[in-house]
């Protein structure tokens, strides 16, 4: 495929970017003792982007032939011709980048191909049936498995020349418990970049199911917390949600140019000395993070970007265009969901660096507070203001975890929360690899970090 794309570029003199993309999505879902749904979707094509007369032109084709690709290049050129006169601020030549050259084959692909459809169907069906029989309090249990297999080849006239492949499996269990008409739910999910063994490295499917069911049942007898400004210990899943939604999006350079809260703050303090935040295309600390990419969709090798170092904002996330505007280098953060999508600046794997404390020490040193685990949903905006719902919250009194609470929300301004961080654990976990991030188009990402003690506004009674 790389050879075909290079052949299509032989007569091109300007900046032309060709991106071949083949994607397969497969999913299975079991509920009520039967397979409720299965799906398989395959699509392939080539996205074409040209920088012409100071602006971008884009086109795509699902016909992977030399004639079709070259015709798409002409259409992209025509689109740039039309839009150039409407663009007051022209794009100059793009900066040099650390382009990927060669083939990058992901881990776990043979494992993924060797697992039969029957094995995957049996997995979700058996786990669902076993879980539903485990307690009379369980009203329903749903179990799902999905996977995305991708191949990409990216070739540009100014140096990119790469091919890569990867597989991203996910597993999830949703349980609903009922006691005298009172309903509570428990949800557990995991998603990685890698094979079957990577997916179930920390917990096997039965353990994931048992945890979801236990949460639903335990919440039946839980109570609401007191509201107000509170000391909390955030689990890696909550930390991941916070750094992704409330901080990561504000430092994507296109959002910065639109006026996000991070605009103009490079070199200023945005967190305590204990806070260092990174975004990386690699899976740091251990393999399998769900947003791992060997090459971004401009053909750039995705470097580890230190966004915040010891509380000081150091960098934004850039594609080649914004790197030129900010007079810095691209961070390898351009990503597109389909061949027919234009690459956008997106996070990959976003995380806080671990500290020196242990979780046990953090709990023991908290006289009055809460331990929060398991994000449910939430929202954040360009000001860094956020509100998240928490699945499990535990009261901490005199250095010990006591009762389980329900209906907990946390809110605040993300940079204010980072300023309040006073303990960070040695433990580290990726914990946001399932599902998708949305920003005009989906993207597979991951986020996580250590346990963190901070102050947030807790919603409750």
Q: Helix, strand or coil for residue 73?
A: helix
Exposure of 276 by Cβ count < 10 A (0-12 exposed, 13-18 middle, 19+ buried)? buried
373 φ, ψ to 5°?
-145, 140
188 and 62 fall within a common domain: yes
Residue 92: predicted pLDDT: 83
Least-confidence region, from 224-228, 261-265, 394-398:
224-228
CB 319 within 8 A of CB 386: no
Residue 298: predicted pLDDT: 98
316 and 359 fall within a common domain: yes
Residue 165: predicted pLDDT: 97
Residue 74: predicted pLDDT: 97
Residue 155: predicted pLDDT: 98
Residue 379: predicted pLDDT: 85
On whether the pTM is more than 0.85, the answer is yes
Stretch 16-26: mean pLDDT: 97
Stretch 321-342: mean pLDDT: 97
- pLDDT tens-place string over residues 180-191: 999 999 999 999
Residue 378: predicted pLDDT: 80
For residue 163, pLDDT over 80 is answered with: yes
303 and 322 fall within a common domain: yes
179 and 280 fall within a common domain: no
Dump strand ranges (E) for 281-367: 305-309, 312-313, 334-335, 344-345, 349-352
CATH code at position 110: 3.30.2290.10
Residue 226: predicted pLDDT: 85
114 and 254 fall within a common domain: no
189 and 69 fall within a common domain: yes
For residue 256, pLDDT over 80 is answered with: yes
Q: Helix, strand or coil for residue 315?
A: coil
Distances in Å between the alpha carbon of 242 and those of 123, 254, 296, 417?
32, 20, 24, 10
* Banded model confidence at residue 392, pLDDT cuts 50, 70, 90: very high
CA dihedral 225, 228, 231, 235 (to 10 degrees): 60
200 and 148 fall within a common domain: yes
182 and 254 fall within a common domain: no
Instruction: Indicate the residue among 219, 238, 254 that finishes a domain.
Output: 219
- pLDDT tens-place string over residues 169-221: 999 999 999 999 999 999 999 999 999 989 999 999 999 999 999 999 999 99
CB 81 within 8 A of CB 71: no
- pLDDT tens-place string over residues 358-383: 999 999 999 999 999 998 878 899 99
For residue 123, pLDDT over 90 is answered with: yes
- pLDDT tens-place string over residues 54-108: 999 999 999 999 999 999 999 999 999 999 988 888 998 898 899 999 999 999 9
232 and 203 fall within a common domain: no
Instruction: Indicate the residue among 158, 190, 219 that finishes a domain.
Output: 219
Give the total number of structural domains in the chain.
2
Residue 13: predicted pLDDT: 86
200 and 283 fall within a common domain: no
Work out the end-to-end distance of the chain between its first and last CA atoms, rounded to an integer number of angstroms: 60
CB 295 within 8 A of CB 62: no
33 and 63 fall within a common domain: yes
Could you list the residue range(s) of the whole structural domain that residue 421 is in?
228-459
Parallel/antiparallel/unpaired status of strands 182-191 and 161-179: antiparallel
Residue 394 CB partners (closer than 8 Å, separation 6+): 370, 371, 373, 401, 402, 403, 404, 405
For residue 461, pLDDT over 80 is answered with: no
How many of the other CB atoms lie within 10 Å of CB of 70?
17
For residue 460, pLDDT over 80 is answered with: no
Instruction: Indicate the residue among 219, 238, 271 that finishes a domain.
Output: 219
Mean per-residue pLDDT of the chain: 95
Q: Helix, strand or coil for residue 406?
A: coil
Percent of the chain past pLDDT 90, that is, above it, reads 92
Residue 375: predicted pLDDT: 87
269 and 192 fall within a common domain: no
Residue 227: predicted pLDDT: 86
For residue 346, pLDDT over 90 is answered with: yes
Residue 75: predicted pLDDT: 97
Least-confidence region, from 37-41, 222-226, 308-312:
222-226
Alpha-carbon gap, residue 71 to 430, rounded angstroms: 43
């Amino acid at each position: 495929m790389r050879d075909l794309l290079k052949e299509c570029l032989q007569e091109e003199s300007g900046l032309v970017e060709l991106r071949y993309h083949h994607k397969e999505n497969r999913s299975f879902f079991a509920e009520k003792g039967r397979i409720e749904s299965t799906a398989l979707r395959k699509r392939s094509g080539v996205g074409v982007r040209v920088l012409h007369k100071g602006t971008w032109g884009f086109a795509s084709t699902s016909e992977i032939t030399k004639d079709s690709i070259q015709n798409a290049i002409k259409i992209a050129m025509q689109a740039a011709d039309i839009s150039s006169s409407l663009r007051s601020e022209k794009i100059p030549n793009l900066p040099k980048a650390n382009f990927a050259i060669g083939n990058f084959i992901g881990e776990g692909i043979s494992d993924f191909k060797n697992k039969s459809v029957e094995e995957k169907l049996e997995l979700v069906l058996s786990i669902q049936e076993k879980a539903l029989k485990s307690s009379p309090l369980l009203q329903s249990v749903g179990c799902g498995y999905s996977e995305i297999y991708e191949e990409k080849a990216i070739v540009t006239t100014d140096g990119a020349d790469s091919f890569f492949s990867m597989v991203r499996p996910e597993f999830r269990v949703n349980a609903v418990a009922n006691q005298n008409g009172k309903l509570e739910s428990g949800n557990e999910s995991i998603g990685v970049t890698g094979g079957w063994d990577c997916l179930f490295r920390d917990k096997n499917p039965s353990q994931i199911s048992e945890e979801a069911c236990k949460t639903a049942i335990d919440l039946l007898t839980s109570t609401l917390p007191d509201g107000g400004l509170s000391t909390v210990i955030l689990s890696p899943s909550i930390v991941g949600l916070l750094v992704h939604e409330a901080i990561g999006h504000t430092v994507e350079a296109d959002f910065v140019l639109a006026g996000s809260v991070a605009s103009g703050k490079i070199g200023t303090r945005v967190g305590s000395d204990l806070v260092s935040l990174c975004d990386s295309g690699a899976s740091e600390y251990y393999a399998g993070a769900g947003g791992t990419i060997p090459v971004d969709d401009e053909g750039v090798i995705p470097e580890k970007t230190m966004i915040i170092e010891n509380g000081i904002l150091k960098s934004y996330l850039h594609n080649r265009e914004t790197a030129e505007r900010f007079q810095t280098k691209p961070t390898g953060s351009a990503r597109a969901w389909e061949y027919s999508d234009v690459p956008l600046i997106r996070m990959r794997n976003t995380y806080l660096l671990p500290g020196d404390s242990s979780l046990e020490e953090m709990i023991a040193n908290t006289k009055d507070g809460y331990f929060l685990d398991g994000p449910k949903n939430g929202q954040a905006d360009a000001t860094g203001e956020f509100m998240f719902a928490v699945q499990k919250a535990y009261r901490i009194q005199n250095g010990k975890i006591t009762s389980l609470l329900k209906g907990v929300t946390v809110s605040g301004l993300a940079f204010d929360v980072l300023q309040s961080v006073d303990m960070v654990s040695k433990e580290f976990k990726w914990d946001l690899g399932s599902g998708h991030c949305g920003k005009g188009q989906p993207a597979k990402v991951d986020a996580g970090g250590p346990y963190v003690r901070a102050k947030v506004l807790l919603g409750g009674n």
